[in-house]
Copies of this chain bind each other. A is one copy, B any other.
Amino acid sequence: MDRSQIVRDSFAQQIIMQTLGISLANVEPGKVVLEMPFNDLLVQQHGFIHAGIVTTALDSACGYAAYTQMPDGAEVLTVEFKTNFLRPAQGETFRFEGIVVKAGRSITVADGQALGITAGSEKLIATMSCTLMAVMPRN
């Protein structure tokens, strides 16, 4: 089955993505791009997007990047991730890219980048290193 369509179907079921206004911009084998406009319901005490929300989008980008290369029937699970915050999460819009570094039989490692975009100018605001697991349903 078309893995890209499987990703799109699963993404549509992540209600949190709609709640946060995050959309799927691109899906290709081993890479997923998400986008989110600035939203002042998602800010921390200084008016920037909360680090955890940036992380939520990065996790979904990395998870679905991994999912593009998993076998049909598998579910994708986040084992762990680490995020480094490089700049305040400022921008009119944000782009989140997840890229597979190494796809294994059960464990996949993916890297993510979050960019804040203002007037067409992009700045790297955070990086993620993420471990995902393919879980096959047990019969």
Interface string of A52-79 (1 = CB under 8 A from B): 1101111110000000000000010111
Q: Which residue of B lies closest to A138 (CB)?
A: B105
For residue A24, CB closer than 8 A to chain B, the reply is no
For residue A84, CB closer than 8 A to chain B, the reply is yes
Closest 4 CB pairs of A and B: A52-B56, A82-B82, A13-B45, A86-B102
Question: Is A84 a contact of B75 with CB atoms below 8 Å?
Answer: no
Which residues of chain B come closer than 8 Å to A57, judged between CB atoms? 52
Can you list 30 A-B pairs with a CB-CB distance of less than 8 A? Answer: A14-B43, A14-B50, A15-B41, A15-B43, A16-B52, A16-B53, A19-B41, A19-B42, A44-B60, A46-B75, A50-B59, A51-B56, A51-B78, A51-B81, A52-B53, A52-B59, A52-B60, A55-B56, A55-B59, A56-B56, A77-B85, A80-B82, A80-B109, A82-B83, A82-B129, A86-B101, A86-B102, A109-B127, A129-B129, A131-B131
